[in-house]
Amino acid sequence: MDTNAVNNPDIVTRIRDGPSKNALMYDNRVFFSRQEVLCYKYLRSIGVPAKKMHMEYRVGAKHLDFFPLKRVFWEHHPILLKFGKDPVEYGEERRAILDGKGYGHIPLVVSCVMFKGPEDIRQRMACIGVDFRTGNVPDSEITYVVDLKEEMCIELLMEPMLF
C-alpha cells in the first residue's frame, strides 16, 4: 500500500495487497470504486462524521454501501444499467432484505448514476429531496436516483433495430 494515502487523506490510491485487487484507499478507509469515494466525500461535505458513516453495513449475509447516521441506507451501483440489470428490481431485492432483517422502517436510496463529484451528488440529491443528515427522503421505502438521459440511451441501444 502507498504510504502517501495514510499521510495525506486527499490521495486515493489502489491497494494491491488486500482482499480485493481493485480496492482503493482514501482517508484511511477501503473503497471498492472511485464512485464510492465520491459518495463518501459528498457525505463528509454535508457534515456526516467519518465515524458515523457506517460503510459496508452488514445486514444478514449482505452489505449495504452506506448507512450514514443510521437514518437512510444508500446503495450506489452506477453500472447496473450497463449490465442490463433493472435498478427497480435491484432496489426491491435490497428492500426485501432490509424488511426481513427488521429495517423496514428505514428508507433506502438506490443510485445508478456516474457521479462527477460531490457537488454533482449534492445537486441531484437536493433536486429529488434526499437529505442524509435528517433522514428525509421522498419515498419512505425506496428512492431511486437515475440519469434519465443515460437510461434512455441504453434502452434505445438495447432495442433490436428494425429495418
Successive 10-residue mean pLDDT values, the chain, 163 residues:
48 63 87 94 98 96 97 91 81 96 97 94 95 95 80 44 49
Same domain as 3, residue 39? no
Q: Are residues 50 and 9 in the same domain?
A: no
Strand order in the sheet with 108-112: 55-59, 62-66, 73-76, 108-112, 142-146
The pLDDT, as a whole number, for residue 151 is: 45
Give 5-52 pLDDT, tens digit per residue: 444 556 776 665 555 667 899 999 999 899 999 999 999 999 999 999
Q: Is 1 helix (H, G, I), strand (E, B) or coil?
A: coil
pTM of the complete model: 0.81
Q: Which three cell numbers stand for residue 104?
A: 423496514
Q: In which order are the strands placed within the sheet that holds 24-26?
A: 13-14, 24-26, 29-31
> How far is residue 80's CA from residue 159's CA, in Å, rounded to a whole number?
17
In a domain, 163, yes or no: no
Are 80 and 140 members of one domain? Answer: yes
Residues 94 and 42 in one domain: yes
Number of domains in the chain: 2
First to last CA, the chain: 54
- Percent of the chain surpassing pLDDT 70: 77
Q: Do 85 and 128 belong to one domain?
A: yes
Q: Parallel, antiparallel, or unpaired for β 55-59 and 62-66? A: antiparallel
Look up the domain containing 66 and give its range: 33-158
